[in-house]
Amino acid sequence: MPGQPENRVQQVLRPHAEDAFAGELAALAAADDRPRPARWRLSPWAVATYLLGGTLPDGTVITPKYVGPRRVVEVAVTTLATDRALLLLGVPGTAKTWVSEHLAAAVSGDSTLLVQGTAGTAEEAVRYGWDYARLLAHGPSREALVPSPVMRAMEQGMTVRVEELTRIPADVQDSLITILSEKTLPVPELGEEVQAVRGFNLVATANDRDRGVNDLSSALRRRFNTVVLPLPATADDEVDIVARRVDQLGRSLDLPAAPDGIDEIRRVVTVFRELRAGVTADGRTKLKSPSGTLSTAEAISVVTGGLALAAHFGDGVLRAGDVAAGVLGAVVRDPAADRVVWQEYLETVVREREDWQDFYRACREAAA
């Protein structure tokens, strides 16, 4: 939570964005002289700078949290400055959750007002619940009511996050319609309502490969401004994203830095991009694509796992043998169909690349 002691933050496996980047947020707030919407910690310009990175007049370097089109971030931030809710849409691994967390941290200073969408998410998670001991003892009362993160955000004028919106049952999704259109949450049991305070808004994320799971009703979709987060445009962008996140995760896990590991990161990213696109980087060879998504997030996981192998069972240098098993696990999700795709890729593409022979051998050994 915001304000927790620094030593506590250092012990947490994954600090919240507002804790991990507290110094950058404070520096931006001090340098930010632009108009701020009601109850925003930073101006829209400063929020965008926080996400995209930059250098402040005093020399403070703001690290990029999102590598992608600037206009995407600007539209997302501008949406939150209006009364429209924001829906971040994209395939797995396009940093939807990451962006939503950092948006909430920069706008409200608190990214913990969160509803995690699942097939079992109940209406109470979006509206409110009850302390049943008090409810049975004294009947409905404000003291017996348990506010949801959405209700608390409305009362405090803050940003609330709803993750994996399309995984929430349709009837629970639609409980957001009145909240987003009328900016009010009725509590009929008490004969009252909670009206949103200025500064309230909602950021939702959805995976566009989940179409058909719990599609949003047209009434609910109209309440959102949808921003599509694309996959990294170039291999260099994706390598940069993976390297940055692996470095951050490695430091939180006390893994040694791997300054010579960029070559292996580039190989993993190249494999994922080629299989994802169904064609080699030079456009000469068409490929079959496996059933998995092979997202940037999975590439980060593969490289982080490889770094741990190198640190604990090797000499600390990230090599092909450290990432081969992770790549195999990411690609071969369907043991029958995906294994054929992977073997064909190994023999027709990887084997023919002269500087990839160590990677080819490591992958063959991992698949044996």
List, for residues 252-269, the tens digit of each pLDDT value: 777 766 656 788 999 999
pLDDT given at position 259:
58
Q: Are residues 203 and 95 in the same domain?
A: yes
| Torsion 280-286-290-295 (CA) sign | positive
Q: Are residues 274 and 329 in the same domain?
A: yes
Q: Are residues 95 and 222 in the same domain?
A: yes
Q: Which of 228, 245, 275 is the last residue of a domain?
A: 228
Q: Are residues 216 and 102 in the same domain?
A: yes
Q: Are residues 220 and 250 in the same domain?
A: no
Tell which residue, 24, 54, 41, has the closest CA to residue 106: 41
- Mean pLDDT of the region 146-171: 96
pLDDT given at position 5:
53
Tell me the C-alpha distance between 324 and 241, whole Å.
20
In a domain, 8, yes or no: no
Q: How confident is the model at residue 350 (pLDDT cuts 50, 70, 90)?
A: very high
Strand runs (DSSP E) across the chain, as ranges? Answer: 54-55, 61-62, 85-90, 114-116, 128-130, 145-147, 159-163, 184-187, 192-195, 201-207, 224-228
pLDDT for residue 31 is more than 80 = yes
pLDDT for residue 103 is more than 70 = yes
pLDDT given at position 75:
97
SS3 category, 186: strand
- Mean pLDDT of the region 147-155: 98
In a domain, 114, yes or no: yes
Q: Which domain holds residue 123?
A: 70-228
> Both tokens of residue 27?
């520096």
* The model scores a pTM over 0.85: yes
- Looking only at the bridges linking them, the beta strands covering 184-187 and 145-147 are unpaired
Report the interhelical angle of 96-108 vs 70-80 (nearest 10°): 50
In a domain, 83, yes or no: yes
- Looking only at the bridges linking them, the beta strands covering 54-55 and 61-62 are antiparallel
Mind listing the pLDDT tens digit for each residue in 272-322? Answer: 999 999 999 999 999 999 988 898 989 999 999 999 999 889 888 899 999
Q: Which of 228, 248, 269 is the last residue of a domain?
A: 228
Q: Are 67 and 240 in contact (CB under 8 A)?
A: yes
In a domain, 168, yes or no: yes
> Both tokens of residue 22?
């507290």
Q: Are residues 213 and 324 in the same domain?
A: no
Q: Are residues 221 and 309 in the same domain?
A: no
Q: Which phi and psi angles does 127 have, rounded to 5°? A: -100, -85
Mind listing the pLDDT tens digit for each residue in 202-258? Answer: 999 998 776 657 788 999 999 999 999 998 989 999 999 999 888 888 887 777 666
Q: Which of 228, 258, 279 is the last residue of a domain?
A: 228
pLDDT given at position 196:
97
Tell which residue, 332, 295, 293, 349, has the closest CA to residue 303: 295
Tell me the C-alpha distance between 293 and 226, whole Å.
22
In a domain, 62, yes or no: no
Tell which residue, 292, 297, 178, 225, has the closest CA to residue 77: 225
CATH code of 158's domain = 3.40.50.300
Q: Are residues 75 and 178 in the same domain?
A: yes
pLDDT given at position 7:
60
Rg (CA), the chain: 23
In a domain, 51, yes or no: no
- Mean pLDDT of the region 52-63: 95
In a domain, 63, yes or no: no
Q: Are residues 239 and 274 in the same domain?
A: yes
- C-alpha distances in angstroms, 215 versus 19, 168, 210, 219, 260? 35, 9, 8, 11, 45
Q: Are residues 242 and 322 in the same domain?
A: yes
SS3 category, 54: strand
Q: Are residues 279 and 309 in the same domain?
A: yes
> Both tokens of residue 237?
């962008």
Q: How confident is the model at residue 1 (pLDDT cuts 50, 70, 90)?
A: low
Q: Are residues 180 and 253 in the same domain?
A: no
Taking all residues of the chain, what is their mean pLDDT, rounded to a whole number? 92
pLDDT for residue 172 is more than 90 = yes
In a domain, 184, yes or no: yes
Q: Give 163's strand partners.
A: 116
User: How many structural domains does the chain have?
Assistant: 2
Tell me the C-alpha distance between 176 and 90, whole Å.
21
| Torsion 140-141-146-148 (CA) sign | positive
